[in-house]
Amino acid sequence: MQLSEIWFILIGVLFVGFVFLEGFDFGVGMSTKFLAKNEIEKRVLINTIGPFWDANEVWLITGGGAMFAAFPHWYATLFSGYYLPFVVLLLALIARGVAFEFREKMNSAKWKKTWDWSIFLGSILPPFLLGVLFTSLIKGVPIDQDMNMTAGFFDIVNVYTVVGGVAFVLLTYMHGLMFISLKTTDSIRERSRDQAKKLFLACAVVIVLFVALTGVYTNAFTDRGAVLIPLYALAIVLYLALYPLLKNKKEGFSFATTGLILILVMAAFFIALFPNVMISSTDIANNLTVYNAASGEYSLKLMTIIAFTMVPIVLAYTIWSYYVFRKRVTHKEHLEY
């Protein structure tokens, strides 16, 4: 296996980790509008992700940094071609992060309402935009022979990519509801499970629609069907298993199930892309691949040594932080405010 292929896998792992970890952060942020009934419950929800959300975002930053170092042509084409969506994505993440810190600085209803909307929009826009981004990547976008992306609005935003964005939002919201059921007590814990059961059918329809449209709008099943068909089938089976887990209040298994589904969906995007990193809809000769978009051999070798030294340390710290903050967040902790 070539170093460029190893780095493609590593970048895929970083984005999979980001979606798994930050996915429930997004879901919890959305739930502050749909699940919380009062101020105390909003604080409870925000505090469930308080120790984790900023560390979880590091996976996205690291993924972008790894892309810049290992595949500079991919980075340049992707970030210039998707400039506006990425700006909106970053502004949404910034607004959400600021809201977490500033929301309690003033005891004013208007002040808190403003930051509540920042948390909500900063939680629903990123998964939608990422869903649109990854879906359009496997569909293909106009790229010329100079590796310049010349996509118009409807090359990026169309029926298939919008369904992909909506599917991503619903899956992360379900993942967030499962996390809430793991991390809270009393009525909000029960309501998170109840809301997940109500959303179950709608989310299932969108997932099946997305898989069907993938067969219509892309060559993914033609090129990678031997891997993708079993993978998507497993994701659907896991999703069907989620409902009985919800009914029987198996919170740990429910959270693990939604997490596995997100992992499979993200892995499917990278499997469908390989050996390409960006697919040209105008001419396959203009595709960016793990070979023509990669850095030099020396750079990749040096980065590999550093990565295999530091990644275990980062993983160990992440696991330790989740162990330290493993206890449930209760309403009683917030009554004195």
**Structure confidence at residue 337 (pLDDT):** 40
Share of residues in the chain with pLDDT > 90 (%): 58
DSSP 328: P
Residue 146 DSSP class: T
Q: What local confidence, expressed as pLDDT, does residue 161 receive?
A: 95
Mean of all residue pLDDT scores within the chain: 89
Q: Are 286 and 143 in contact (CB under 8 A)?
A: yes
What pLDDT is stored for residue 110 in this prediction? 87
CA distance 115 to 256: 30
d(C-alpha 178, C-alpha 258), whole Å? 8
| Helix intervals (H) in 35-102 | 39-49, 53-70, 72-81, 83-102
For 56, residues 6+ apart whose C-beta sits below 8 A from its C-beta are 18, 21, 22, 25
Separation between Cα atoms, residue 76 and residue 89, nearest integer Å: 17
Sign for the pseudo-dihedral over CA of 304, 87, 127, 40: positive
* Residue 32 predicted with pLDDT over 70: yes
Residue (of 190, 197, 195, 194) closest to 243 by Cα position = 197
177 CB-near residues (< 8 Å, 6+ apart): 27, 31, 35, 192, 193, 195, 196, 199
Alpha-helical segments (H) within the chain = 3-34, 39-49, 53-70, 72-81, 83-102, 109-139, 153-156, 159-183, 186-217, 220-247, 251-273, 297-324
Higher pLDDT: 91 or 54? It is 91
Is residue 336 very low, low, confident or very high in pLDDT (cuts 50, 70, 90)?
Answer: very low
335 has pLDDT over 50: no
CA dihedral 293, 296, 301, 303 (to 10 degrees): -60
Q: Report the pLDDT value the prediction gives residue 296, as an integer from 0 to 100.
A: 85
The band of 57, judged by pLDDT with boundaries at 50, 70 and 90, is confident
C-beta separation of 136 from 156 below 8 A: yes
Of 336, 327, 250, the C-alpha closest to 50 is: 327
Q: Is the pLDDT of residue 68 over 70?
A: yes
CA distance 148 to 81: 8
pLDDT at 243: 93
**Residue 117: partners with Cβ closer than 8 Å, 6 or more residues away:** none
Rounded to an integer, what distance in angstroms lies between the CA atom of residue 177 and that of residue 290? Answer: 37
pLDDT digits (tens, 9 = 90+) for 243-290: 999 998 888 999 999 999 999 999 999 999 999 999 999 888 999 999
Q: Identify which of 116, 108, 149, 111 has the alpha carbon closest to the alpha carbon of residue 45.
A: 116
3-class SS of residue 81: helix
Q: Which pTM was predicted? A: 0.90
How does pLDDT run across 185-197, given as a tens digit for each residue?
878 999 999 999 9
**What pLDDT does 39 receive?**
86
Q: How many CA atoms lie within 13 A of 235 on its CB side?
A: 22
Which pLDDT score is estimated for 132? 95
